[in-house]
Amino acid sequence: MQVEIRQMNSAKKEVALTVEAERADAAYRKYLNKSAGELSLPGFRKGKAPLSLVERTYGSRIREYFYKDFVDEVFAEAVKEHDLHYLLQPEIMDIAWEPGQEMKLTIGLETEPEINIQQLEGLRVPYKPLELKDEVERYIAELQQENATVADVEGDIAKGDEVDFEVKCALEGREAVTNYSTHIETQHEPQLAPAALGKQVGDTFTLQIPVALARYIFKEEKFPAQPAEIGASFMVNAIRRTILPRIDDEFAKDLEYDSVQKMRDEIAASLEEKNSLKNQNIKINALISKLYVDNRFDLPENTIGYITDQELERYQVKDDRWRQFYRQQILYRTRHEFINMYLMQALRKQRQAEPAETDIEQYIEREAKLSDQSVEAWKEKNKAVLEDESFKETVANYLILDLIASTCEFYEAEPEPAETALGDNKDMKGDELIS
């Protein structure tokens, strides 16, 4: 048997197998005889029909099963002989064979890409740091939310209000009725929000809503997949609005600060170290993006698609539009994880790091500070993580990246759109370190 291996890209190979005519013919005749012994044809006892008649009657099905078994056999030989490694099941791309001729097979394989990182030190890396003043304002906004009050509204519904509805719809010849509470936000319920804005308590309106939303509203009811939308009637029962306190000296004094300025100063002092740690993580994530942009490699897209679809099934989403939305989110995250994994594999080949106990303790201390916990509380909460064998590798990855980052020049600049392979980091909070 002849074996030719063609590298299609850094993550895909094609294996061309040429099987001698004698071997292919002998294997087929053996399979045909075996099949004939198990089949019954009208007018013949089981296994007694002539081979020519069996082949004429069941030839296409017999050949289909023969191909599967025989391809597995010869491919297994090629794998062993040439030490082939691959991810998913091989893809049979082409079979060309007629009795008396050589059998030619083409099989596609997805593999881990081979990566050679050209430059590790002295890189210029664009990144978007978190400004301490913005973190202070974000923290104050959280305090504002925590001290907000909720008031019933007699006027019109506005964006952000929480509204209680009585919802009705016709379902299988009867009227289904339920109560439904939601915050009016256009991005979450694009059909409901525009229809509800401006309405008052007691107002009613009808609306075509996606079946997925109907299932969510009527949790105890079952809706068919088709049609994609269903008519529903909404009556406004109550409107509640969150009232945020003004950010002034009185607000600050209620929180035991002397003034608003004192509040901002003290919060800034308390957040300074955490902000610095977040920015270090942002630098490291920006470094990973830079390394991928400068050393692009192909990904095993079929494998990534398979993993994505397997995870999607766990969501049990029936509506096609929502399935597509979730699939895109999972696909992006899975590709991101594969890029990180392969980059770290390449980096570990070029940079060795064996974490000492002090390195591990310092890493745990960082994580505890980022999550606003004591070291002891973080260890207790992450006991399973600490006991996993991969934790030491996570620390080693951080040490490698931190060492490389210490040689780089980080500058604040917006990434080029074409270069945002992993997405830019302008919305990252600095606690999403790749491990």
pLDDT of residue 49: 61
Furthest C-alpha separation in the chain: 103
Determine the pLDDT at residue 66: 85
CA atoms of 109 and 211, how far apart (whole Å): 40
Position 376: which residue type? E
What number of H helices and E strands is found in the chain? 13, 11
pLDDT band at 185 (very low <50, low <70, confident <90, very high): confident
Give me the pLDDT at residue 42, please.
Answer: 66
How far is 208 from 210, CA to CA, in rounded Å? Answer: 7
Contacts of residue 112, defined as CB under 8 A and 6 or more positions apart, other chains included, come to 11, 85, 87, 300, 342, 345
pLDDT at 40: 63
| 54 neighbors 46 (Cβ within 8 angstroms) | no
- Cα 110 to its chain centre, rounded Å, is 20
Mean pLDDT over residues 191-211, rounded? Answer: 92
> In angstroms, what CA-CA distances link 305 with 300, 328, 329, 331?
9, 10, 12, 7
DSSP per-residue codes, 373-384:
--HHHHHHHTHH
Task: Name the pairing type of β-strands 409-412 and 124-127.
Answer: parallel
What's the rounded mean pLDDT across residues 91-118? 93
The enclosing H or E element of 9 equals strand 2-9
pLDDT, position 45: 59
At 380-394, the pLDDT tens digits run: 999 999 999 999 999
Over residues 361-375, mean pLDDT: 96
pLDDT at 62: 80
pLDDT bin (cut points 50, 70, 90) of residue 423 is: very low
Cα–Cα distance measured from residue 33 to residue 26, given in angstroms and rounded to the nearest whole number = 11
Q: In the prediction, which pLDDT does 233 show?
A: 96
pLDDT at 47: 59
**What is d(CA 322, CA 337) in angstroms, rounded to the nearest whole number?**
23
Global pTM reads 0.74
Give residue 48's pLDDT band: very low, low, confident or very high (50, 70, 90).
Answer: low
pLDDT tens sequence across 288-306: 999 999 999 999 999 999 9
Instruction: Decide if pLDDT at 343 tops 80.
Output: yes
Answer yes or no: are the C-beta atoms of 6 and 107 closer than 8 Å: no
Supply 202's token pair: 């007691």
Enter the tokens of residue 327. 């699939």
Q: What CA–CA distance (Å, rounded) separates 316 from 109?
A: 30
- DSSP line for 125-175: EEE-PPPHHHHHHHHHHHHHHHT-EEEE--S---TT-EEEEEEEEEETTEE
pLDDT of residue 427: 42
Q: SS3 breakdown of the chain: % helix, strand, coil, rounded to 5?
A: 50, 20, 35
Q: Which residue has tokens 């087929």?
A: 28
Q: In this predicted model, what pLDDT tens digit does every residue of 217-270 receive, in sequence order?
A: 998 888 877 787 889 999 999 999 999 999 999 999 999 999 999 999 999 999
3-state secondary structure of 298: coil
pLDDT at residue 72 in the model: 92
Q: How many CB atoms lie within 10 A of CB 206?
A: 12
Q: Is the pLDDT of residue 435 over 70?
A: no
- What's the confidence (pLDDT) of residue 210? 86
Residue 29 banded pLDDT, cuts 50, 70, 90: confident
What rounded mean pLDDT belongs to the chain? Answer: 89
- C-alpha–C-alpha distance, residues 370 and 119, integer Å: 30
- pLDDT > 90 fraction of the chain, expressed in percent and rounded: 71
In whole angstroms, give the CA distance from residue 209 to residue 232.
7
- Using 50, 70 and 90 to split pLDDT, how confident is the model at 421? very low
**Do 406 and 120 touch, CB atoms closer than 8 A?**
no
